[in-house]
Amino acid sequence: MRFSYFKTLSLPWQAKVICECGVRLAERKLADVIIELYQIDSFYAEVYYRHSDSEVIKIASFQDLSYLDPYFNDVMLPDITPKILKDDEC
């Protein structure tokens, strides 16, 4: 699906596309909102859920990779470093 077309869809249709075609990549939490990150073809979408009742309140879509920065804080590089070093020892 093209990003420009996705942006024209209503919130319910965007949610349907995400459910059917999206690949869930990550989740983060703010005060009273849960944000799930999905990839759809060549763009990304964040689905904002109200924490109290899990209702979708917003979907934000983007292609600019700088919007992925908040998710990089959750990547634990020390967890993969020993495996990389071990694999390189041969």
The per-residue pLDDT for range 3-36, each reduced to its tens digit, is 999 999 999 999 999 999 999 999 999 889 999 9
Model confidence, pTM: 0.78
β strands within the chain, DSSP E: 23-29, 33-40, 43-50, 56-62
More confident residue, 62 or 81: 62
Measured between its terminal Cα atoms, the distance across the chain in Å is 43
Is 50 exceeded by the pLDDT of residue 90? Answer: no
3-88 belongs to CATH 3.40.390? no
Q: Domain limits of the chain?
A: 3-88
Is 70 exceeded by the pLDDT of residue 80? Answer: no
